[in-house]
Amino acid sequence: MREILDAVASGDLSPAEAEARLAGYATTDAGRFDAAREQRRGIPEAVLAEGKTPDEVASMALAALETTGRALITRADDDHVAAVREALPADATVERDDRARTLAVHGPSFDPPDIDARVAVVTGGTSDAAVAGEAAMLVRAVGATVERIEDVGVAHLGRILDHLETLRAADIVVVAAGREGALPTVVAGLIDTPVIGVPVSTGYGHGGEGESALLSMLQSCTVLSVVNVDAGFTAGAQAGLIARAIAGAREE
Amino acid sequence: MREILDAVASGDLSPAEAEARLAGYATTDAGRFDAAREQRRGIPEAVLAEGKTPDEVASMALAALETTGRALITRADDDHVAAVREALPADATVERDDRARTLAVHGPSFDPPDIDARVAVVTGGTSDAAVAGEAAMLVRAVGATVERIEDVGVAHLGRILDHLETLRAADIVVVAAGREGALPTVVAGLIDTPVIGVPVSTGYGHGGEGESALLSMLQSCTVLSVVNVDAGFTAGAQAGLIARAIAGAREE
Amino acid sequence: MREILDAVASGDLSPAEAEARLAGYATTDAGRFDAAREQRRGIPEAVLAEGKTPDEVASMALAALETTGRALITRADDDHVAAVREALPADATVERDDRARTLAVHGPSFDPPDIDARVAVVTGGTSDAAVAGEAAMLVRAVGATVERIEDVGVAHLGRILDHLETLRAADIVVVAAGREGALPTVVAGLIDTPVIGVPVSTGYGHGGEGESALLSMLQSCTVLSVVNVDAGFTAGAQAGLIARAIAGAREE
Amino acid sequence: MREILDAVASGDLSPAEAEARLAGYATTDAGRFDAAREQRRGIPEAVLAEGKTPDEVASMALAALETTGRALITRADDDHVAAVREALPADATVERDDRARTLAVHGPSFDPPDIDARVAVVTGGTSDAAVAGEAAMLVRAVGATVERIEDVGVAHLGRILDHLETLRAADIVVVAAGREGALPTVVAGLIDTPVIGVPVSTGYGHGGEGESALLSMLQSCTVLSVVNVDAGFTAGAQAGLIARAIAGAREE
Amino acid sequence: MREILDAVASGDLSPAEAEARLAGYATTDAGRFDAAREQRRGIPEAVLAEGKTPDEVASMALAALETTGRALITRADDDHVAAVREALPADATVERDDRARTLAVHGPSFDPPDIDARVAVVTGGTSDAAVAGEAAMLVRAVGATVERIEDVGVAHLGRILDHLETLRAADIVVVAAGREGALPTVVAGLIDTPVIGVPVSTGYGHGGEGESALLSMLQSCTVLSVVNVDAGFTAGAQAGLIARAIAGAREE
Amino acid sequence: MREILDAVASGDLSPAEAEARLAGYATTDAGRFDAAREQRRGIPEAVLAEGKTPDEVASMALAALETTGRALITRADDDHVAAVREALPADATVERDDRARTLAVHGPSFDPPDIDARVAVVTGGTSDAAVAGEAAMLVRAVGATVERIEDVGVAHLGRILDHLETLRAADIVVVAAGREGALPTVVAGLIDTPVIGVPVSTGYGHGGEGESALLSMLQSCTVLSVVNVDAGFTAGAQAGLIARAIAGAREE
Amino acid sequence: MREILDAVASGDLSPAEAEARLAGYATTDAGRFDAAREQRRGIPEAVLAEGKTPDEVASMALAALETTGRALITRADDDHVAAVREALPADATVERDDRARTLAVHGPSFDPPDIDARVAVVTGGTSDAAVAGEAAMLVRAVGATVERIEDVGVAHLGRILDHLETLRAADIVVVAAGREGALPTVVAGLIDTPVIGVPVSTGYGHGGEGESALLSMLQSCTVLSVVNVDAGFTAGAQAGLIARAIAGAREE
Amino acid sequence: MREILDAVASGDLSPAEAEARLAGYATTDAGRFDAAREQRRGIPEAVLAEGKTPDEVASMALAALETTGRALITRADDDHVAAVREALPADATVERDDRARTLAVHGPSFDPPDIDARVAVVTGGTSDAAVAGEAAMLVRAVGATVERIEDVGVAHLGRILDHLETLRAADIVVVAAGREGALPTVVAGLIDTPVIGVPVSTGYGHGGEGESALLSMLQSCTVLSVVNVDAGFTAGAQAGLIARAIAGAREE
């Protein structure tokens, strides 16, 4: 604790960041931001914009930036993005992924992590891109390399087989798929790398809200682990944790 | 009607068969047997043994044999089989498929149909065999040729690709699969033949009663039609109807 | 491959179509279009407009037109239709079905298939018309003849019996029905032609999202195969595949 | 109250019956029997044997006999029946319906009601007979006439049309059906008599526990009211209440 | 048929009404209207406005008016009502029930039925009024008398007991209730009149879409029959059919 | 801790009890027993016999007796009871409730708690008795007084009204009900005492596994809190915690 | 009754209030207000604004104010609030909680209850605040003291442990939690105070409408009682009833 | 391939093993054994005994032993174990885990893998032990070290905190939990290691078949991936794949 206070005294640490480190979270009008999550859990907290007002998102994004040097925002629409951009200090850099509806903001002094691990993020079709993009943001946030493989649905097996080499070169594979959700099973059957399946809520009629894809992945006749429907964030974060473990082992 | 009565008079037709033709069904102690189904629907009625006593099954099997020259029995356990064998006239021939729990009985004068059509019946794993066997019995009952392709689950794509030629030579393909139920989608993506998916109630935990497989087939990103969980009978009968249509067209 | 390149050189084939034939799909801003589907699967790919922006739909429709000579679009609202019409070359012809929300576009040199097979498309009520129309478009796309039979709900049996002759003359019957979904069962009980049931999401209260109709068709006491709720596209495509098989047999 | 006590004094009423009339129920070791139900509700209480021991059933049957002059027992297996027969006084008469698993016991002085109303009880197939038999017992218990129409499933419309006259002659129609549960809709579409549908838990796979039949009846495109799955008792009692109202009106 | 044609010739019957009587339905741009329903089923067909455009509703209402002398419209919003009013001939009379969203239109020569039967329509709370009003319209349409009893929810038993006399005087009771749906059970426990329960989709959280009320009524420990969630139309029509049977018996 | 060790040294505390107090649980072959639960939570841990072998139950019961002076066992069948009786020391006293399948064992030096609070435990019918008995055991275990009110189902309101005085005299009311689960709502509507509802898995058909009763209680239009289906233990323990709070307040 | 009429005569009671006391409810255009609820049940009735028009809410709020001296309104949006404010007499005081969407209105002569009991209201995250606020309003309405503990989700155990003292000082604890709903279990495991869990409908994908949280609380391995999803009102009212019982005992 | 044949010739490889390597699977009477799975997927295939006869299991176990040098068997009851032991060659060693119902058989020349990675396998209660044991067998099968942490349910947080050091020392953590399934969330909130949750089908009433635990894990407010209910095999295999990746990185 003394260390933190010395750093505040010397100006190396903002009071907000110091408070966040000591208390474990930053308090904003829109709720608490878990500033200590990255230290405790190895993955940064993100701000879920959906269901929040633009002002609330901007306020939590600022708290994140001040206390951790960056802000990750998911499921942000145009209004959220505008409010965040307006609220940001001039020296912050912003990366937006339109399809994934994500925003990654870095303060000028933020030193992005860079680890020696490779995560393939695979989609079955165009409509899985948003979920996959969210996963990719999280993987990048822990410093791992992302390989995107897109539109390799099981109705056309040839497309998947074209990417076998990339899949085999990855340390972990995240596969997002909607409708019948068979892609993670087919991919996992081809390689000996851990695969994380993300069911996507595309589809229609009976089971169309992602239920069919979730069930398929839970019932897979090969080995998979799964996250909730549309949980690109969770899949990316879990892949990030595994990537950190592998990269850490490489450095031992 | 006169024709039927003449045939009874001349001994070419048993009274039971005549009654069945006139009334549309034969009455037994265990319920009615729809003797006219084959004429009306193109596919013979079968006796579902499950949930009936051995005596009831034997009684309905006899009614079927007397009125249509044959009896098809599904989901028969050892007791059902014993009761049917005991009740049969000496000149009847019996084919039993243990795994499929089916029994096909033919009277001495029965002239089995023989049509120029080919149905492939495919399974993902050992536990799909019973359902597939039931489908195969129905296909054979309309006189089409059955090609069995077994244990070609999607976790090992190579197995499926080995059978592409047989699949392409078929007029219709029936695919039985449990767990994640992805096999019909993968098969249908490879060929331009109609595919009928049969979900099988293997699996465990959430969605394990065949729900997952059924949803997968309903949500398939390729073109399939589907029958209910474990409905090997229905899949085989539907394939039989299509086979008859194709064979009929061949003969035109 | 040489053939394709020669055709490009001679101007008989556009580069886009050549690329599509070689790669198996055309790449647009809005995702990939599976240009080779018709060759591989026997049925053309369609563009699902629902959930896409008008621009995305127009861009995929153009890709379809350029690579396969036609474009089939489903679930298109007025904005989608306007965008497609604006994007089309002047020499394309467009057929729109308002109730079915479909659009069939043909390039000037497209030679529509024409096969010797007949598909009856039956509805129980007015609200099944959209789904039936989608099925009809797909049947026509493979060149088969469509017979529409409308508003023959089971609450008034006389209506169905009036159409027995047309039903018997068909090679395949597609039946769309909502609410209690009993119509496919009643129709199938009357004829020896294969029937494909399409549950429709009309209804209300418990089971009103098409669940009741789907369950009824899966539990049918006669022989049916089924597609997902509102899956007019799939039912029409499956009927089209069977029609092609029958027409092919007629030509043998 | 005085009347009741006088009747006890004069021996016209047993103390048990008197207590039941005064308190509204008879107390047995196996729980209370609602002896006043018939007076209050117009339909007699029945003893549900399922889930009770043979002794408990016998004890409640005796209480019913003593307090109301009769005992109706449903879902009774062989052990229940034996225990009841053993416990009964010698002068009681017993009617058992094996398929329906019901038992109707009458004391020597019981004067069965007899009302001028007619209830048709219809089944789709053999497996609906138990449920229909339970309904029939209740209808008979209020004194109405029962007409049974059996095995008229919708897969064979001709069978139903053969019984139109009987259906039209009935005051109320109870229709029991499993699988897709379409029979009540088809019947109700043919007549202008009130129809009560009883879903039966026959079927298999998805929706096979009677869910499909229940949903079909709730979603019926004609006018029906419905009871729970396998609730033959409730359907018969409701038909009995309506029959009493109609017979009462006839007598006015 | 000759009679009908004579009536047309003499001007006693409009050609539209004649066609409807002969064909069984009237054809409009918006679909068919089942003009013969009342003759066949004893209850008039109604036009469900929900999900139709105002023009479609007006067109079907006119067809109903022309062929049957009246039009019943359910779930009509302000736009539907305006369109119907504009389309109507000047001599038609209109009754609107705002809360129930119903519209009853009569032509000048329509002779409303009037039968000697009494139906009580009961609600648990304010939010059940729309469903109950729909039921009441149908009861009135067959000519029976409606008694409304409102806001007698089970959380305050005294309110129900205040209405015992009215309930006992009714020939049939329709009870609409949302939330826990216990009211039909409590009412039926008090009287010996047939009770029809209508679950209402008020409520929230788990089971809040009327599922809880529907299940309660299906599981009732007393005798009830039930219709689907919010099916005021069906409940009223079923009560109307029973009322007709009772009134008919009174007239015998 | 010193206190505990002194008590062991002086023989006032067995080593097993001392270990349990220090570690928080006793270790047996059949798993850990949470010996400190009563101290931490205010309610004793019970041994759930269902799903355990008789030996496992006996071994955990002994551990409970040694470490806390008593053992509470739920859902015990005859074999469990026999094994526990055989394993017990001679000086233990045993109370068994057959219908509730519970067993309460006390060591000779156990000083049962006795608090000034009164809990009414109410059932709708005979089949709710087991669940209610489990609740009653837990209430007694914290020393409160139990008042049983039985068989007061909502189909006969008079029965409930007879017990109003007892209900009003209670500090808390636990109401167990199956089928439509309306009883807790009716009871809570009559009094101003907190009511805890326990849904019971009696019933049949749709919603018959206690789902209907659970939903009814969650949707209640009056104020209730609820526990899971058949969770007599939890309801009794929660009532016990509230009783302790009230009795504690009485003593302040 | 005489007392009430005397009070009216003397001007101590408004006629509206007198009518409400005598009849048990006040009648407004928007339905009945249960004015006697507080006397009968110990907790005041509240007006649920959701699903009502602003005018209806204002009219019921006035009725509440006139008959009980106060009005509690839940789930009120800005339009509801404006209408209520406009309708109120000038001397009424209004407390609004924006996040909880509640409104508590008191007339000038209303004497708020004040009881000696303490209820802790705990939330897992920001999105549980609305539900918790609704619960808090009800607790305050019975006069108990509310302690709010916010944002102590289980993903960061340290936050909960910081509040142990406050939790232990409470007489009852209400815990609102969405997503996995584990917080009530963790809290209840730490204290010996009764805990009421309120599942909140935050979450996404499979089980995201509060189903997951509800199931977790019903399955809790510690002792809890539960209310429906988002039922802050019910949780607060139940806590209020228990608080009254405890405070009453303190005063004995 | 030549290599394999040379090895057969020299006797270093049995013909069965050679065939398995070449064909990818061994054929037995009881179905195919995927002998090449370990090479292709990195994890050995196991024989699921449940649902197979003892003879079938023994036959597949032998095939596994002959082709891969070992056999892993899951969900084996006493009869399965007896049949396997009898069928085994004398020189095979067998490890049985009774609670987990697993059997690990090694041939004399099998050289077990040994990798530098550590997997913690955690349970919430006694009833999770079987599932956890299955997971542990798979982890050991890839050669990683297993740390078992048992009975640390969330109702008693102190138990979990006692094991923080072991949890932090692990490379991956598998957490099995039934009932409310909160344990994986609580564990994952404490450490920065990847956590895989396994829902266990303990529990009762609503959600008691593992649904509640599955939903909790999918909805977790921290980062987890999940497998199906009771899928100890899959969780162990997935942990094994990650362990291999980490150990591989350590060796680089």
pLDDT, residue F205, reads 82
The residue with tokens 């044609």 is E5
Residues D97 and C248: their CA atoms lie apart, in Å, by: 57
The pLDDT of residue B20: 59
Mutate to test the interface with G, among F223, F227, F250 (most CBs of G within 10 A): F223
In this predicted model, what pLDDT tens digit does every residue of H209-251 receive, in sequence order? 899 999 999 999 999 999 999 999 999 999 999 999 999 999 9
pLDDT-based confidence at H21, cuts 50/70/90? low
Cβ of B205 within 8 Å of Cβ of H40? The answer is no
Question: What ipTM, to 2 d.p.?
Answer: 0.89
> Which among F223, F228, F246 has CB closest to G249?
F246
pLDDT tens per residue, range E93-109:
999 998 899 999 999 98
Three-state SS for H73? strand
Report yes or no: F57 and F83 within 8 Å, Cβ to Cβ: yes
Q: A175: which residues sit within 8 A by CB, 6+ positions away?
A: A122, A123, A124, A183, A184, A187, A188, A195, A196, A197, A198
E129 CB contacts (<8 Å, ≥6 apart)? Answer: E99, E100, E123, E150
Q: To the nearest whole number, what is the mean pLDDT of chain B?
A: 89
| Direct distance between the N- and C-terminal alpha carbons of chain E, in angstroms, rounded to an integer | 29
Report CB contact under 8 Å: G238, F223. Answer: yes
pTM (predicted TM-score): 0.91
Per-residue pLDDT at A27? 64
Give the helix/strand (H/E) hosting D73: strand D70-74
CA–CA gap between residue C162 and residue B15 (Å, rounded): 34
Q: What is the mean pLDDT of chain F?
A: 89
Q: Which residue has the tokens 């798979």?
A: H138
Do the Cβ atoms of H70 and H47 come closer than 8 Å? no
Measured between beta carbons, the chain A residues lying within 8 angstroms of H42 are 192
- Helix, strand, coil tally for chain E in percent (to 5): 45, 20, 40
CA nearest neighbour of H142 among H44, H33, H25: H44
> Can you tell me the distance from the alpha carbon of C62 to that of C44, in angstroms, rounded to the nearest whole number?
15
Task: Give the β-pairing of B102-106 and B93-97.
Answer: antiparallel
Higher pLDDT, residue F151 or H139? H139
Kindly indicate the confidence band of residue C185, based on its pLDDT and cuts at 50, 70 and 90.
Answer: very high
Mean pLDDT of C11-17: 69
User: B48: buried, middle or exposed (CB in 10 Å: 19+, 13-18, 0-12)?
Assistant: middle
Task: Give residue-wise pLDDT tens across range C203-239.
Answer: 788 887 899 999 999 999 999 999 999 999 999 999 9
Q: What is the pLDDT of residue A157?
A: 80
Q: What is the pLDDT of residue B183?
A: 96
- Out of C41, C226, C244, name the one closest to residue B225 (CB): C226
Chains E and G touch, using 3 or more CB pairs below 8 Å: yes
CB contact under 8 A, H223 and A172: no
Among chain E residues, CA nearest to D193:
E241
Instruction: Check residue A155 and give its pLDDT.
Output: 81
Summarised one tens digit per residue, pLDDT across range A187-202 is: 999 999 999 999 999 8
Interior angle at CA H212, CA H207 and CA H213, nearest 5: 140
Residue A247 to residue A252: CA distance in whole angstroms? 9
Residue where the block lists tokens 């008959």? G67
- Whether H147 shows a pLDDT value over 90: the answer reads yes
pLDDT tops 60 at residue E1: no
Q: Is the pLDDT of residue F136 over 90?
A: yes
C-alpha dist (Å) from residue A80 to A35, A52, A88, A102, C207 = 21, 9, 12, 10, 38
Measured between CB atoms, which of C155, C159, C206 is closest to E211? C206
Chain B adjacent subunits, 3+ CB pairs under 8 A: A, C, D, H
| Inter-chain touch E31–C156, beta carbons under 8 Å | no
Query: A interface toward G at CB cutoff 8 Å?
Result: 24-25, 30-32, 34, 40, 51, 199, 201, 210-211, 214, 228-231
Span of B10-19, B106-115, G91-100 with lowest mean pLDDT: B10-19
Round to whole Å and give the CA distance between C5 and C10.
9
Which residue has 């699949």 as its token pair?
B167
Is the pLDDT assigned to residue A137 strictly greater than 60? yes
Residue B127 has what DSSP assignment?
G
Which burial class, exposed, middle or buried, applies to A101 when counting CB atoms under 10 A from its CB (0-12, 13-18, 19+)?
buried
Is pLDDT above 90 for B219?
Answer: yes
Sheet strand arrangement including D172-177: D145-149, D118-123, D172-177, D195-199, D225-226, E225-226, E195-199, E172-177, E118-123, E145-149
**Spatial distance between the Cα atoms of E39 and E143, rounded to a whole number of angstroms:** 15
**pLDDT for residue F21:** 60
Rounded alpha-carbon distances, angstroms, from residue G53 to E130, F250, G47, G190: 15, 46, 12, 44
Say what the pLDDT of residue C130 is.
Answer: 92
G219: which chain H residues are within 8 Å (Cβ-Cβ)? 179-181, 203-208, 212-213
Tell me the per-residue pLDDT of A3-44, one tens digit each, with 9 for 90 and over.
666 777 777 776 666 655 655 556 666 666 676 667 667 788
Give the nearest partner residue to H30 out of B126, B159, B204, using CB atoms: B126
DSSP single-letter state for residue D222: S
pLDDT at B234: 96
Residues of C with CB under 8 A from a CB of D: 124-125, 153-157, 179-182, 185-186, 188-190, 203, 205-208, 211-213, 215-222
The CATH code of the domain at A118-251 is 3.40.50.1970
Residues of C in contact with B43 (CB under 8 A): 192, 223
The token pair at H73 is 């068997």
Q: Which residue has the higher pLDDT, H159 or B18?
A: H159
Structure tokens at C103: 């659009």
Looking only at the bridges linking them, the beta strands covering F93-97 and F102-106 are antiparallel
- Is the pLDDT score of C113 beyond 90? yes
Best CA proximity match to D154, nearest among D178, D182, D175: D182
pLDDT band of residue H5 (cuts 50, 70, 90) is: low
pLDDT band at residue A150 using 50, 70 and 90 as cut-offs:
very high
Closest CA to B214 of D214, A176, D208, H229: D208
Query: pLDDT tens across F64-105, in order?
Result: 998 889 999 999 999 999 999 999 999 999 999 988 999 999
Residue-range domain boundaries for chain G: 22-106, 118-251
pLDDT at position A4 is: 67
β partners of residue C31: C28
Say how far apart CA B36 and CA B48 lie, in whole Å. Answer: 17
pLDDT attached to residue C30: 62
Q: Chain F residue with minimal CA distance to G197?
A: F225
Residue pair C174/C119 in contact (Cβ under 8 Å)? The answer is: yes
- The verdict on a CB contact (< 8 Å) between G229 and E204 is yes
Q: For chain A, how big is the Rg over CA atoms in Å?
A: 19
Query: In which region does residue H161 sit, left (phi positive, over 0), alpha (psi from -120 to 50) or beta (all else)?
Result: alpha
Mapping DSSP to helix (H, G, I), strand (E, B) and coil, where does residue D112 land?
coil
* High-pLDDT (> 90) share of chain D, %: 65
Which chains touch A (3+ CB pairs under 8 A)? Answer: B, C, G, H
pLDDT in tens, chain D (252 residues): 566 667 777 777 776 666 566 555 666 666 667 766 676 677 888 899 988 889 989 999 999 998 889 999 999 999 999 999 999 999 999 999 988 999 999 999 899 999 999 999 999 988 899 999 999 999 999 999 999 999 898 887 888 888 999 999 999 999 999 999 999 999 999 999 999 999 999 878 888 789 999 999 999 999 999 999 999 999 999 999 999 999 999 998
pLDDT at F23 over 60: no
Q: What is the average pLDDT value for chain E, to the nearest integer? A: 89
Across the interface, whether the CB atoms of H201 and B206 are under 8 A apart is answered no
- A174: pLDDT strictly greater than 60: yes
H103/D136 Cα distance (integer angstroms)? 56
Task: Provide mean pLDDT across the span G117-134.
Answer: 94
Residue B51: pLDDT above 70? yes
Q: Cα distance from H181 to chain A (closest Cα, Å)? A: 15
- H229 CB neighbours in chain B (<8 A) are 204-206
Give the pLDDT band of residue F233 (cuts 50, 70, 90).
very high
Q: Is the pLDDT of residue G30 over 70?
A: no
CA B39 to chain centre: 17
> In angstroms, what CA-CA distances link G220 with F23, G194, H197?
23, 14, 17
pLDDT, mean of residues A138-153? 95
What are the angstrom distances between the C-alpha of H19 and each of D58, G50, H66, H92, H144? 67, 70, 11, 21, 29
Average pLDDT over residues A167-171: 96
Torsion of CA B57, B63, B66, B68, to 10 degrees: -90
C199: pLDDT confidence band, cut at 50, 70 and 90? very high
**Which of G127, G156, G204 comes nearest A24 by C-beta?**
G156
**Residue A116 identity (one-letter amino acid):** D
Highest-confidence segment of E208-217, G13-22, H27-36: E208-217
* Residues of F engaging E, defined by a Cβ cutoff of 8 Å: 124-125, 153-157, 179-182, 185-186, 188-190, 203, 205-208, 211-213, 215-222
Tell which wins on pLDDT, B177 or B126.
B177
Angle between helices D2-9 and D15-23 (to 10 degrees): 170
Q: Do chains C and D touch (3 or more CB pairs under 8 A)?
A: yes
Size of interface A-G (CB pairs under 8 A): 35
Chain C residues in contact with E214 by the CB 8 A cut-off are 205-206
Closest CB to G249: pick one of F226, F227, F249. Answer: F249
Q: What is the pLDDT of residues H30-65, one digit of tens each?
A: 666 676 667 667 788 889 998 888 998 999 999 999
Q: Which residues of E touch F125 (CB under 8 A)?
A: 221
- Give the mean pLDDT of C143-152: 95
Which range in A11-15, E115-119, G95-99, H154-158 is most confidently predicted, on average pLDDT?
Answer: E115-119
Q: How far is residue G153's CA from residue H211's CA, in Å, rounded to a whole number?
A: 22
- Whether residue A214 and residue G206 make contact (CB cut-off 8 A), yes or no, is yes
Mind giving me the DSSP string for C198-212?
A: EE-----STTTTTHH
Residues 6+ apart with CB under 8 A from F135: F121, F174, F176, F198, F232, F233, F235, F236, F239
Amino acid at H124: G
N-term to C-term CA, chain D = 29
Residues 6+ apart with CB under 8 A from B228: B199, B214, B234, C218, C219, D204, D205, D206, D208
Taking only the tens place, the pLDDT of each residue in D140-182 is 999 999 999 998 988 878 888 889 999 999 999 999 999 999 9
